[in-house]
Structure 1
Amino acid sequence: MIREISRAIRVSLVLWILTAILYPAVILTVGLLPPLQYKANGSIITNWQGQIVGSALIGQPFTSDKYFWSRPSTTNYSSFTKEEFNPTKPENITQRTGTSGASNLAPSNPDLIKRIEPEINRLKQAGIPPTADLIYTSGSSLDSHISVESAKAQITRVAKVRSLNPNQLEILVTKNTDDRFLGIFGEPGVNVLKLNLALDNIPVAR
């Protein structure tokens, strides 16, 4: 009995050292290596001034006509800390920190139909063919990408507002398109935040 208890204690100690100390230490060390630092630190994106504007992994709401619109979200979210959040600022009100998660509404649910109808009308008024990812939210509701089709459908609108050549925006969309994971999983997607940052770097014709 004593031998079994002693063995169980030793095994528990060894597993605790492996899983609670060595494994996290190895993962942390690997994450600090230059090639992996970007992803390990949250895939943070900065603008040309070096200011943090978001993460490549978390979507942001874009509703201005001069930007490519992002995918709808069931929650409001942001990187604001409690100290930075100011409820009197409109841009902060639309980005209150929230939690991720889908609405889980069935296609026949009246609440879903009620939510997507205004989106469809808004897209049609802007001359954008309604696509699934511009109408429906994703499983996490924090999707940072839209389909290539959805991005290209907005080129005419953005080009007109910014007085740009549509070909310039075609190039930007291509440059900010992420391929399938490992070349086989999923579909190519356009990172909206990266695309809009690149868009702001194009001089506007006057």
Structure 2
Amino acid sequence: MNGKFIVVEGLEGAGKSSVISRIVDELKSAGKTVEQTREPGGTPMAEAIRDCVKHDWDEQVAEETELLLMYAARVQLLTNRIHPALKKGYWVVGDRHDLSSQAYQGGGRGVLESTMRSVSEIALKGFKPHLTVYLDVEPAVGLERARGRGELDRIEQSGLAFFERTREKYLALAKSDDSIVTIDAMQPMEKVHSAVSALIKQYVMGK
């Protein structure tokens, strides 16, 4: 029996890491074998691409370059970890997936929708998560939280307007897809965790 792929999405500072830990705990309590991934990254080659993407280069990084690097890392992760784990019946919990590219490169960078569709189809061949938890946070608040963690990387330095466009795209995509559940990440974290726990318990019971 194939496993399930659950992804946590959101802007910087949305609280993804702690929510992922809560999801993993709930799944393990339900007797599931869990594999954790992150994007970009998750394999040696994909981690090298991650470093390339996040590095603050002394040259202009074209929107298309950033997009193609993201999908290159994603294909490596799918091929070497996600697909094999699902076939074993594992439940995979991912820190970001394709929705991030749709929001960041499509919404934030303004890459044409036709380009986004073409690249996604080549890389994913229609594959998508079974469940996505989108943690919605106001960009200014999320960036302030991210600054509290330390120095911002190249993408995190893209500016408030970029993240406002990214959030707008996230919300539009979430509204149009029943497999995406939006949780208010502006509320206290204990309430976020409670909502996530309830969602996962209900999802596992239904499967």
**Is the TM-score greater than 0.5?**
no
As a proportion of its length, which structure holds more helix? 2
The higher radius of gyration belongs to: 1
TM-score (norm: length of structure 2):
0.24
